[in-house]
Chains A and B, each alone.
Chain A
Amino acid sequence: MSALNEKVSASSADLLTVSGLDVEYPMKGFRRKPFRALTDINIHIKPGETLGLVGESGSGKTTLGRAILGLAPISKGTVVFEGNDITSADRKQRRSLGRDLQVVFQDPYTSLNPSLEIGDILSEPLTVQGQSPAAARKRVKELLDQVGLPSDAVSRLPREFSGGQRQRVAIARALALSPKLIVCDEPVSALDLSTQAVVLDLFLQIQRDTGVSYLFVSHDLDVVRHISHRVAVMYNGEIVEQGTSHQITRDPQHPYTQRLLLASPVPDPDRQAKRRNDRHELLAAQQLEAASGIPA
């Protein structure tokens, strides 16, 4: 399968390079074998680039994002960010890293502390980095403006906002320190269709304005294709295929990617009927292949 993978070069032009990454969660119980969530992950992201990460639930795509952020136990391999090895960065290194590496989570309902006001939530990363309260207040105002929230949001609580608005608060928090890379963990999955469109536009606009890179995790290939320069496909804790967005969505090589591409229904009955047939033919062909012993 490695032949299909894009050649991973540790070029210095990359903002983030992940090589040979394994993540294992220790299991409860004496001498139980740890649970391996990720195996031999190799990805890289250039400045101003979006890498889309797509896969089904349990494929490990969220874990990869968390491992880069230092929230998952890395058992092997390295994470290099801006030329620095951050595989086992301690809290102090993380604090300085927090300036350049940020996160937007899936669930806008639990990613904001319900008892803190929006102003406090947004100024938290600023004051941690040693900014004065006055400077932080000014920056918070800019941020709210940038994500299209009213400035009186400062003194309101998260529960007073809708899902889409909360996700914009979470995006503003990630933007607060003008980071170079934002890990976006299913940031639009909990949103309605029209809200999703608005938030995706916001992500694109911010990238155009600030040149930020995204690692964009999603289960929805349509979303990933729309926002990514390159796409990596995960299956059972491994990256089975990666390449440019065009390559992956037009000419997928791995059987899982092929299935994934034809599985999402299109909003037209006749084209959908055709896609359905294509899918059935593909499944039959893949089954035949599997039965004849050719490794898929």
Chain B
Amino acid sequence: MSEIEVLADQSDIGQKGTVVRSHVIKKILRNPMGFIAVVVLVFMVLLAIFANLLAPFDANFANIGKTLASPDATNILGTDSVGRDVWSRLVFGARTTLLSALLCAAVAVGIGLPAGLIAGYYAGKFDGVAAWVVNILMALPGIIVLLTVRAAFGPSVWISMIAFGVLLSPGYFRLTRTAVQSVRNELYVDAARVAGLSDWAIISRHIFSVVRAPIIIQTAIVCGVAISIQSGLEFLGLGDPSVATWGVMLSEGFKNVYLNPSLLLWPALAIGATIGALVLLGNAVRDALEDAEKIKPAKRGSVQASNGRTAPGRAQTTAVEAGTEHHLVKVSNLGVGYPQADGSIKKVVDNVSFHVDRGEVLGIVGESGSGKSQTAFSILGLLPENARIVAGSIQFDGNYTVAPTDDRVSQSRLSAFRGKRISYIPQEPMSNLDPAFTIGYQLVTPMMRVLKISKSEATERALALLDDVGIRFPEKTFDAYPHEVSGGMAQRVLIAGAISCEPDLIIADEPTTALDVTVQADVLDLIRDLQKRLNVGVILVTHNFGVVADLCDRVAVMQDGRMVEEGNVRDILRNPKDPYTQKLLGSMLEGKEPMTMLVSAGVTAAEAAARDDESDEKETLQ
């Protein structure tokens, strides 16, 4: 994405709320289903509003001399069994039916929304009581309640719709409460509390915006349900026969279905079309609100054509360059990119070359978005499906895993190595252990599969490994579930897993970033010990120069997908040549005079910050 596109994009996003909303409406109308739904609903609403003008007769005006008549000039849709004009009743029926559905939704929203907001925001007693009421309401059989209400208050469509609205309010309550609970503890709500905003201001300003969209969607659906329930009751003959609604018409049409089937057709058509339109509208609103920028994956052909690379598998595994076989890993001029909607490729790694030998630790240092993890993942073959190798090659132990002509990492070639000879230590120890299985199971299973050893042998080995990584009670940890151990312990378990199949290369992606400093020091000690003892090659991805100094023999510094500098760890840390490396090392706090400016000596911090924005903009694009 170019800078200009981004700016244009941003100016569009930054519009006022009303503009954004009209944008949503535009999206709904562009959706064909949404468009049909809106047209049908607008038609029905217009019928209801202008009923007095459109209907030639009153809804209950009966011409006894002209019953069950066929359509003619006076009665364009004919008359019913007592000589009332079908068209007039249909038009007035639209008014009653739609209004009563709205009433039902209004009652449901009116009860459910405020109750949900209060219960979600304050929790406590009100939440407890409300939850009980909701459970009882949801347990009540709706139809029986409606029949009881009719028996008690008479056959009024309005009263039955109010009752139905009360029955539907738990849906809104739950929806609102869940949405509010999810944002109640957001930091921006805390910040508003610190600023002294009243609860009402916080709810209306910061919390209501979260529930607005789901409420609109639910209301469309609820209106449809109200119409269908109302019509159903009236069809059973439980409605008020003196008020013209579509349900009453349906009921009467059914009585005369053999004499004049069209009496059944018109109200059924109106009900079906309206409910269908409401459901479609709800879906269209949802799609419009949830619609993320969809980028169609570029056709493989076009990508290949643009860089002249072939699909993996077809390419012959040519012999690697002579004289480089002894390197454990060698990455040459690697480029990784992601195809964009317009057919171009956004490069995230560009022209990166390095090698790692046995028993050597290479650090890859860089800030977020520098491409350091993408580089590591291309060696592991764990890039996302749509990623493309656009240049260069990767060889492992004298064989190509990405040949110079491949455009993707060859999974078949790599799976012979991965887990056996290349292993991985991730950043977040907790999210890399499956909470549903014991730690022992998660260590034993891969060993049985990869090393083809028996379960008892693998168990023995796992216990030895846990002991090896400094876990004091291996048996206890072996039987524990991941949530029962601390973060540092979990990272030790993962390291045990990484060395369990005796790899030649370990790729560690920010292995200590999520850990406390004191735990980090222990884990670094562990990695150093194991590396020396097992003589493995290690690629350590990190942003911390202290960690680099602690572990690495050589270091590569990356910025914006490029490698800006590579060399011996002492040379790079003591005499950085590249201005970016100098800037990074200059940002380190160790050895700095406290209370002095780090980057902005002589200029104000604000100016320095503004200057820093140039690189920040790039960060935003990642």
Contacts and interface: CB of A to CB of B under 8 A. Distances in A.
Contact of B517 (A220, A225, A271): A220
Nearest to B615: A194
Given A162-B617, A227-B594, A202 B545 contact: no
Interface residues of B, number: 76
> In this complex, which of B367, B594, B600 has the most chain A Cβ atoms within 10 angstroms of its Cβ?
B594
Contacts of A111: 186-188, 190-191
B193 A259 contact: no
A184 to B, nearest CB: 13
Interface residues of A, number: 90
B481 to A, nearest CB: 20
Contact of A197 (B587, B604, B615, B619): B587
A193 B584 contact: yes
A92 B199 CA distance: 11
Contacts of A97: 196
B550 interface: yes
Given A124-B195, A264-B546, A272-B550, A197 B610 contact: no
A263 interface: yes
A198 B600 CA distance: 8
Contact of B543 (A94, A117, A156, A193): A193
A25 interface: no
Interface stretch (B112-120, B415-423, B567-575): B567-575
B438 interface: no
26 contacts: A56-B516, A66-B190, A70-B194, A71-B193, A94-B196, A98-B194, A98-B196, A105-B187, A105-B190, A111-B186, A161-B616, A165-B616, A170-B191, A194-B367, A194-B612, A196-B587, A197-B586, A198-B609, A204-B605, A264-B517, A264-B521, A267-B548, A268-B549, A268-B573, A269-B550, A276-B550
A128 B188 CA distance: 15
Interface of chain A, helix or strand or loop or mixed? Answer: helix
A103 B190 contact: yes
Nearest to A125: B195
B8 interface: no
Given A94-B193, A105-B187, A162-B616, A202 B584 contact: no
Q: State the 3 A-B residue pairs at the shortest beta-carbon distance, nearest first.
A: A95-B196, A148-B609, A265-B546
A17 to B, nearest CB: 19
Interface string A253-296: 00000011011111111111000100100000000000000000
Contact of B590 (A57, A94, A101, A266): A266
Contact of B605 (A198, A227, A245): A198
A115 B209 contact: yes
A75 interface: no
A265 B549 contact: yes
Q: Which of B589, B619, B620 has the most CB atoms of chain A within a 10 A radius of its CB?
A: B589
A160 B620 contact: yes
A197 B584 CA distance: 9
A178 interface: no
A226 B592 contact: yes
Interface string B507-522: 0000000001111110
A232 B613 CA distance: 34
Given A91-B199, A113-B188, A160-B14, A263 B550 contact: no
Interface in A148-192: 148-150, 155-157, 159-165, 168, 170, 173, 192
B599 A201 contact: yes
B606 A147 contact: yes
A56 B146 CA distance: 60
A226 B196 contact: no
B619 A113 contact: no
Contacts of B10: 156, 160
A140 interface: no
Interface string B162-193: 00000000000000000000000011101111
Nearest to A276: B550
B518 A259 contact: yes
Interface in B545-571: 545-550, 569-570
A112 to B, nearest CB: 6
A155 to B, nearest CB: 5
B215 interface: no
A267 B194 contact: no
A284 to B, nearest CB: 13
Contacts of B49: none
B74 interface: no
